[in-house]
Structure 1
């Protein structure tokens, strides 16, 4: 007799759902990392520009160049603000997919636990059946010996 888990198809479906959730989570992590990296680059660029501007102001700078720099920094700040929103959105998506992955993982663990307990129960019954068969054989052997 071989063990047959009655929820094997359900378990395989849950495992596939968990794998899909893991893939979605990994994609969301990648999107978050890309957005955060781009935001970091923009902030670094702004910091470098501001330090360069303050150095150049000490040596003297035409007003037109100061205006141009301020306009450029203003546009850069708008881009930074856009990427800050993007980072927040991708972080919330990443957290959502992480929660879904954890739920799927818990479901799979439940079915694996059911399978494990069912298997233990099956082998315990099999052991008892073998014990009864051995008892029957022993009794038959004893009765045949007596005759």
Structure 2
């Protein structure tokens, strides 16, 4: 029985590790979503800026205005490039955290199965002992009845 207490303690520790892994995964997923949303916003800005640039080429526009638009588009391209790297890093971190969560979940399930197996084993042993005791009582009753 002391063995079951130790396994239950280990299970509690594994469950805490699983909760920590879930929290870390959720945090990494939130970070990824935040960065990806920022990237999406920049891509939309670039799309609008490029459309405005194309429209300005069709019209009579000052060279300085076109130059400013190109510089703005180039700045957006640099920001997008940097954010794409950040998104990739965030994705990698998120996948690592997901892997850790999966491993923690598997560990919890292992200990739950061990506990279930031992519980069933203990129940079978108790049932066997109970049947043995019932047989002994029956034999004693039979012998005492026969001796009368």
TM-score calculated relative to the size of structure 2:
0.93
Name the counterpart of 2:18. 18
Within 2, Cα distance between the matches of 1:61 and 1:128? 96
Runs of 4 or more above 6 Å deviation: none
Question: Where does structure 1 lack aligned partners over 5 or more consecutive residues?
Answer: none
Shift of 1:6: 3.8
Question: Where does structure 2 lack aligned partners over 5 or more consecutive residues?
Answer: none
- Which structure is higher in RCO with an 8 Å CA cutoff and minimum separation 6? 1
Maintained 8 Å contact 1:35/1:87: yes
Shift of 1:5: 4.7
- SS class of match (2:61): coil
TM-score calculated relative to the size of structure 1:
0.94
Aligned residues: 146
Name the counterpart of 1:86. 86
Maintained 8 Å contact 2:29/2:94: yes
Maintained 8 Å contact 1:46/1:76: yes
